[in-house]
Structure 1
């Protein structure tokens, strides 16, 4: 309590409201007789004395402190304003909305990866959401020593511990380093739980955490894109021929001087050789050029069918001759 003279009633309200302000501490030392409390949408007003919460008021509107607020204060409900006395109590206004913050890694994170001794440098970005959920812890840890608290203060605290959490959840359970986006949901969920444990003691809670994208170094990204292209084409030789044809048709291979001309000529010869090899491969539906034609079967002797086995004149065996060897008789 304190005593004063010639002091007028005051208005207890959030005088410096900002969308990015988490809480605001009313800065006057005393609430005088006839004072009014103004609570706007999205605000809670907390009366506390010596670190102890006396009352929390959440409904928007304008209230008479003496008749509508003091009767609900836990230890000050019997307070009576005197002619020269005021009530010494602190009022904290809290922004009750959910805040959404964009984040990004300040430095590349070297993630262990097979074949890369120094690790793979990865950057990431996304958003997280938070809100105030425990007024006692908020006053005890933050509001007790600060007059206001901004979203940037929370963002700074989050980003200071985000890199090791990303390292932890990216490398967990052997995730594919070249396809982290497919595991972004599990990574985000794990980081959200860890961040919530870090902030809960300050009266804040993480309501959401999302990884929007992972960014690889340009060399790694080019390698991933090329591997994806090969996978879509399927035939690497076909992919190379298509690439060369596209390069020549677009004129990109004709503007590099002698070296470019030689490279273009060599690639053209390579394509020609491949085409000749394909043309020279045997076709199973065509006859081989060195294959001898099939030998025709000897014509059958129709006369041999009319020669008798024995001469009809003398009875001597004919042996297939046209004339009998004994009597000279013609047999056919």
Structure 2
């Protein structure tokens, strides 16, 4: 191989990038090799090729096949001072930028976001979701984000973009004033509004935010428990009616399972409760009627006194009446209720008709 063939082999004649790495930016390995004037540049769909001369962005090529010359590299021609054309090899950095849509990128809150809710007061929210982006302006993206790295992926800028997204969504939630219990019904609307709100910030980096979805916005456990209790109360409705229903169900279960351990316990408890209630009712009735026998006794005592007076004043007739009265209350004779007049059973302490204490 002659010297001319060796030098010719060092010149780069075809510049292209077969994107099989998923990178956003790829630096073509020129190193010390020179690019031959008239070389072929192949830019595929969803790609852009950017020529950089000594750190300064020069010409940008979209999809297509090009033969490099001074005519299609006006910026580089000006930078190189190729006033009258130049056919010798030249050196330049070539970057391929992927302009496809990068999807399924994740965002999430590293720390809870504090917001004010009208119903629960100050609450802390956590959230996560997905977003998608693409490079809209390769030159701006290289200048603002990429720098001079050999390769670049969406994950390299992911942490910064996550913070931008979380900040925008937090601000949007505070402005929307949507109650926390209604957030789940507004995920789509919040995602679209957040994407529109964040678009200018992404554009300043040469990027476009093509999609933003909110998968979940979660509350602290104590707030979720409070919501569960409130919803349970709403389902129960009237607590007094609910307790009565529960008591009736317990008694029914005890009656249906007289031999069961749990049923026996429930039945015993229900029976004790019913017995206590009946005892209170009887006690109240006794207290209400406790004054009647004394009054009746006082009346009989007054009658006795009158009888005695009658005996002293009128003699034998009144004495006979007094004797008849005494014989009516003698042992073995039938007694009558002082309240309702019904006959009393022997040894009874309460009237079986009206419940008056004897």
Shorter-chain TM band: 0.5 to 0.7
Alignment of 1:20-169 (within 5 A): 21-29=23-31, 30-32=34-36, 35-50=39-54, 51-59=56-64, 63=65, 65-66=67-68, 71-75=71-75, 76=77, 79-82=85-88, 86-100=89-103, 101-113=105-117, 119-169=122-172
Q: 1:144 to 1:154 in 2, by over 3 A?
A: closer
Q: Distance between the aligned counterparts of 1:182 and 1:163, measured in 2? A: 19
Using the size of structure 1 for normalisation, the TM-score is 0.60
What does the per-residue CA deviation read over 1:185-236, in whole Å, with 9 as the maximum and x for residues that have no partner?
A: 3432332233222221111111221212111122222332343344455555
Partner secondary structure for residue 180 of structure 1: helix
Q: Distance between the aligned counterparts of 1:158 and 1:235, measured in 2? A: 51
Q: 1:245 to 1:17 in 2, by over 3 A?
A: farther
The Cα RMSD (Å) is 4.0
- From 219, 224, 240, give the equivalent of 2:227: 224
Task: Name the structure 1 match of 2:181.
Answer: 178
Unaligned runs of 5+ in 1: 248-260, 277-332
What does the per-residue CA deviation read over 1:238-258, in whole Å, with 9 as the maximum and x for residues that have no partner?
A: 7678999999xxxxxxxxxxx
Q: Distance between the aligned counterparts of 1:123 and 1:163, measured in 2? A: 10
Q: 1:243 to 1:13 in 2, by over 3 A?
A: farther
Q: Are 2:50 and 2:57, in contact at CA under 8 Å, matched by a contact in 1?
A: no
Structure 1: 4+ residue segments shifted above 6 A: 238-247
Q: Distance between the aligned counterparts of 2:247 and 2:71, measured in 1? A: 86
Task: Name the structure 2 match of 1:202.
Answer: 205
Using the size of structure 2 for normalisation, the TM-score is 0.56
